[in-house]
Amino acid sequence: MDWQLRVFVTVVEEQSFTHAAKKLHISQPAISQHIQALEQRLDVRLLDRERRRIRLNPAGEIVYRHAKEILALYSRMERMLEEAKEEPSGSLRIGASLTYGEYVLPHVIASFRKRYPMIQPIVEIANTQTIAHRVAVRDLDIGVVEGRDVVHDDVELTPFAEDELVVVCAKNAPWPPEGDVTPADLAAANWMIREPGSGTREFVDQLFIRLGIAPTSVAEYNSTQIIKESVEAGLGIALLSRWVVRKELAWGTLRIVPALHEPITRWFSIVTRRSAFETRATILFRDFLQSGKSSP
Q: Does 129 share its domain with 271?
A: yes
Q: Does 126 share its domain with 195?
A: no
In a domain, 234, yes or no: yes
**What is the count of structural domains for the chain?**
3
Mean pLDDT (the chain, rounded): 86
Q: Does 283 share its domain with 136?
A: yes
CATH of the domain at 95: 3.40.190.10
Q: Does 125 share its domain with 272?
A: yes
* Residues forming beta bridges with residue 256, ordered by sequence position: 168
pLDDT tens digits, 149-189: 666 678 888 889 888 899 999 988 887 766 678 888 889 99
Q: Does 175 share its domain with 140?
A: no
pLDDT at 3: 85
In a domain, 127, yes or no: yes
Q: Does 166 share its domain with 235?
A: yes
pLDDT tens digits, 232-282: 999 999 999 998 999 999 999 999 987 666 778 888 999 998 866 788 899
pLDDT at 260: 64
Q: DSSP letter string over 197-232?
A: T-HHHHHHHHHHHHHT---SEEEEES-HHHHHHHHH
Is residue 152 within 8 A of residue 274, CB to CB? The reply is: no
- Residue 19 to residue 206: CA distance in whole angstroms: 60
In a domain, 296, yes or no: no
Q: Does 131 share its domain with 197?
A: no
* Domain, as residue range, for 103: 90-161+267-290
